[in-house]
Amino acid sequence: MKITDVKVIRANRSVFCRIDTDEGISGIGESGAWGFLESSAAAILVMRDYLIGQDPLDIEHHWQYMYRYSHFRGAAVMGAMSAIDIALWDIAGKHYHVPVYKLLGGKCRDKVRVYNHTPGRTEEELLENAIKGVNQGFTALGHLNPFLDEPRTEPFKDGNAEMLYKAERRIAKVREAVGENVDLCVELHRRLEPGLAIQLSSRLEPYNIMFLEDPIRPDNFDAMAEVAHKCRIPIATGERINTVHEFEMLLERGACSYVRVSLGVCGGFTGAKKIAAVAEAHHVSLVPHNPLSPVMTNAVLHFAASTENIAICEYPNPYAASTADHLTDSGVKLRQCDMVDHIPEMKNGYIAVPEEEGLGINLIPDVEEKFPFRPHQIMTRLNFDGSICDQ
């Protein structure tokens, strides 16, 4: 079997890679390079020249070739590699007539626990959506932003004391509203400096938080380690780093309790399995990052099925136009679930592992026409004084 073509498909807020073969088997994968999807699409087309004519089943060799051929990489390049890798595993599953998880080592679990996104532009909306999530059957609520999902066009005005008091009050209200049987996954969006992050963690201890995600900007592993060592709430991070070597340095410092590996920028299944092994050696569990389409959700389900040290998985709303639209209520009425031939059912906080061949999901034939590509705008929030506010 040989690769005959590599195509880029741009649809909605996603960039997909489709790989065709001379045996009529095609595979699909998705890039997770988020704000730079067009750059990732260009990188896929650069790698196309190498892939055409190759055996698609030599996945590890292709991964090493694409990873090491250039002196430079980064999120856009790793996003391209990830989309290609996922598509190659999809082809392999279809070739051998098995689900991808069978090729990754078989099942460690029959179903995957997931948490939702709980948006809130106001305190009232946050509480309303938290209760809604529980009523939908989720046993864990994610993207709980104690600073709210306010518009990025609105300057942030709170001082440190006001910000901390409000954050504590909002999480306290959510805990009271949902009871003691629901895990709370708090998303801090890199908003704080280390001292403030440690201070906030102390204030949130009474509410039994599952983890604090990205309390500070994740660029400095030593700073993240300082936060992790001084916080009694577990720290989750990793969605913005790309390689097994970076994750090893993060873990060696004891900088997190949960690794937020992103299949869309870490090198797909091949990269994620390497990272999972390093995390396992450090007694650390994974919480896969996934703000993407149902294609990536199916990929994450296969990865979680075949990887023992998975704590829980992020589950973006398939009935929203995209994660960005879901969190900001853009008014776009498209639904991601309509981009694919079907989606798995979430029941009582779990999703059954897909049993179809390959990824077990396909894009609809005319997805680019029905879902015109909408790249993410370059826009960041500012503080009241005009400086940058991470959100």
A 10 A CB-CB count for 106 gives 11
Structure tokens, 91: 């082809």
Residue-level pLDDT at 332: 77
pLDDT band at 70 (very low <50, low <70, confident <90, very high): confident
Terminal-to-terminal C-alpha distance of the chain: 46
Average pLDDT over residues 302-311: 98
Q: In the annotation, is 117 catalytic?
A: no
Pure H helices in the chain: 37-51, 59-68, 75-96, 100-103, 123-135, 160-178, 194-204, 221-230, 244-252, 268-281, 294-305, 323-328, 367-370
351: helix, strand or coil: strand
Three-state DSSP class for residue 302: helix
- Of 189, 229, 302, 342, which residue is the catalytic one? 189
Whether residue 365 is predicted with pLDDT greater than 80 in this model: the reply is yes
Cα angle 257-258-263, degrees, rounded to a multiple of 5: 155
Q: Of 62, 95, 143, 289, which one is the catalytic site residue?
A: 289
pLDDT, tens only, 258-306: 999 999 999 999 999 999 999 999 999 999 999 999 999 999 999 999 9
Q: Mean pLDDT over residues 23-28, rounded?
A: 98
- How much helix, strand and coil, in percent to the nearest 5, is found in the chain? 40, 15, 40
Under 8 Å between Cβ of 78 and 243 = yes
State mean pLDDT over 355-361.
Answer: 98
Provide the percentage of residues in the chain whose pLDDT is more than 70. 99
Which CATH code fits 3-97? 3.30.390.10
CA angle (64 as vertex; 274, 300 as ends), nearest 5: 40
Round to whole Å and give the CA distance between 33 and 46.
16
Reading the block at residue 74, the tokens are: 């980064």
Closest CA to 178 of 132, 210, 144, 213: 132
Work out the pLDDT band at 71, boundaries 50, 70, 90. Answer: confident
pLDDT at 206: 98
Range name among 11-25, 59-73, 123-137, 319-333 with the lowest pLDDT average: 319-333
189 carries an active-site annotation: yes
Q: CA–CA distance from 102 to each of 98, 108, 311, 353, 358 (Å)?
A: 6, 10, 20, 11, 9
Which DSSP string corresponds to 226-241?
HHHHH-SSPEEE-TT-
pLDDT for 378 equals 87
Task: Write the burial class of residue 166 (CB in 10 Å: 0-12 exposed, 13-18 middle, 19+ buried).
Answer: middle
**CB neighbour list of residue 252: distance below 8 Å, 6 or more residues apart:** 282
Can you give the pLDDT at residue 86?
99
- What dihedral do alpha carbons 348, 351, 355, 361 form, nearest 10°? 130
Residue of 122, 40, 132 lying closest to 78 (CA atoms):
40
CA 306 to chain CA centroid, Å, is 18
DSSP state of 74: -
Token pair for 135? 């009523």
Q: Which residues pair with 111 in a beta bridge?
A: 352
The tokens describing 173, both together, are 């209200």
What is the rounded distance in angstroms from the CA atom of residue 241 to the CA atom of residue 262?
Answer: 8
Distance of CA 304 to the CA centre of its chain: 13
- Whether pLDDT at 58 is above 90: yes
Taking only Cα atoms into account, the Rg of the chain, rounded to an integer number of angstroms, comes to 20
- CA-based torsion, 211, 214, 220, 223: positive or negative: negative
Boundaries of CATH 3.20.20.120 in the chain?
Answer: 103-364
Name the band, by pLDDT with cuts 50, 70 and 90, for residue 42: very high
- Structural domain 103-364, CATH architecture: Alpha-Beta Barrel (3.20)
Alpha-carbon span 94 to 309, nearest angstrom:
26
Whole-angstrom distance, CA of residue 30 vs CA of residue 40: 10
C-beta separation of 20 from 3 below 8 A: yes
Reported as a single tens digit per residue, the pLDDT across 144-175 is 999 999 998 999 999 999 999 999 999 999 99
**Nearest Cα residue to 327 out of 152, 209, 76, 79:** 152
Q: What is the pLDDT of residues 180-203, one digit of tens each?
A: 999 999 999 999 999 999 999 999
- Say whether pLDDT at 331 is over 80: no
